[in-house]
Amino acid sequence: MNWKGILTTVLVSATTAVVSVGLYAKYQQRNNYALVASQGKVPVNYAGFFGKDGNPGQPVDFEAAASTAIPAVVHIKTSTNPRTVSNNLPRQKNPFAELFGLGDDDPFGQMFGQKSIPGQIASGSGVLISEDGYIVTNNHVVDGADEVNVTLSNKKYMKAKVVGTDPSTDLAVLKIEGHGYPYLLYGNSDDVHIGQWVLAVGYPFTLETTVTAGIISAKGRALGLNSRKAANSAVESFLQTDAAVNPGNSGGALINTKGELIGINSAIASPTGAFAGYSFAIPVNITKKVVNDLIAYGMVQRGYLGIEYPNEQALDQLTEEQRKQQGVADDVNGVSISTVVPGGAAEAAGLKKGDIITKINGNIISGGADLQGRIALYKPGEKINITYLRDGSEHTAIATLKNNAGTLDVVHTSALDKLGAQFATLDAAKAKALGIKGGVVVSGIGQGIISDQTMMKNKFVILRVDGKDVYSVDQFKAALDGKSSVNVEGIYPGFEGVYQYGLNDLNGQGSSSGGDDDGQ
């Protein structure tokens, strides 16, 4: 037997094996993923994250962020008193009144033309943003409430005052008396990235403070929710997350892992009304602007660019031929201008129909919601730098934003604003067709005195205020100024008769004030 040859073969085999294992291990360290195969299936990558040394990345610890946020998130409870709304039509007579001798004291006849709305109790969440008791929450949490109460994380129960609301962004600011409250610091929603870990903090289903975790799934989302309350001025540019949010979480905090406030939880996408995978938060940069304006002015000072652009969902329904006819570019990200409003900021800056806005102050604009969110950060009179495409070439322009009246002035809350609707002077031709001298057309009825106190519908034409004819919006506004209540008369085109509506509390200041408790 040739022992020398056998020994040589064994040594060569062993050496080869050792070298092969060493090379394989070194190769694995350079590749931060692994493959796993099973019988009859395609190999797949592990969904783990591996560091540069080949070891799994360190897990994120949410404990510090959660402990920071919990004391600053409050439970909000609201109550609405029972009320009766009426179309104020002439009182209809009960056909059984004479039979039973009820006469003018008939309680049933008084109910004709009236609608009773029972009292309601609701709850939500809010976030303390200052040591002296300012709280930010959703507008829909306090909308229409007669009383607002706040429970702190230490179980202290207090009354709150509504400082201001903004249906366009679904935000509201409350105030409780006292000092020394824990509060959250603002983060920067521009620094938020898809895939980033976030925590949602609030009071779902009236439970105690609840913290859930998830990631940012998308940015610049629009859902069409705010247009229900503010048809012509809605602003939506939501952060989308998969952190669990349920009824009661509205108005609560969305924070990053540093414990900074990056959003206000506002909505969920769900076929059942409970969490089904996606929730939406108002970015903190928009929140800061709205909160500061509500505290300083009582209403938001919103800058307008003065353009119209196609609805992105409607664009998705267009055929290729229709897109060509309307000049819709398929290969460019941005917002295509369909109309430039005469006298607006965009016209003054030289923008034209067909231009495609791609950046605002250097920030990339991916769509309409993104543009809305970016413009919402600025006041009338502030300048923005616009990058746009025209005929394939890139250009820049500086636009000075204007208010909704087309001026640079600060806008103050008026009785007209409190009505919660849009008003327009009736066109002369339409007035002639209706056989009247003029009037004011009501549209876009949202949150406000009209919806709270009456059954008025869109397209109502106002003819008189307290018996005095009004032919324009300016005359209507003047008729309201300085009055706490008025009686409005008008018609519905196509229907017979004159309708009357009583509008009260035109000078009202909102909900109840707080007590004298401190925030310890």
Residues belonging to the active site: 140, 170, 250
Taking the CB of residue 367, how many other CB atoms lie within 10 A of it? Answer: 17
Q: What is the largest CA-CA distance in the chain?
A: 133
Distance CA 405, CA 304 (A): 10
- The SS3 of residue 251 is coil
Cα separation values, 445 from 50, 93, 496, Å = 55, 31, 22
Residue in the structure block whose two tokens are 């409607």: 314
How far separated are the first and last CA of the chain, in Å rounded? 93
Hey, is 49 helix, strand or coil?
Answer: coil
Task: Provide the b/e sequence for 25-38 (b: ≥16 CB within 10 Å).
Answer: eeeeeeebeeeeee
DSSP state letter for 205: G
Nearest to 380 by CA among 406, 422, 408, 404: 408
Structure tokens at 192: 């938020």
- Tokens 């709270």, located at residue: 452
Alpha carbons 214 and 197: distance in angstroms, whole number: 6
Name the residue among 212, 202, 213 with its Cα closest to residue 151: 202
| Alpha-carbon distances, residue 214 vs 67, 76, 199, 448 (angstroms) | 17, 24, 6, 36
Using CA atoms, how far residue 100 sits from 92, 113, 188, 332, in Å, is: 16, 21, 71, 76
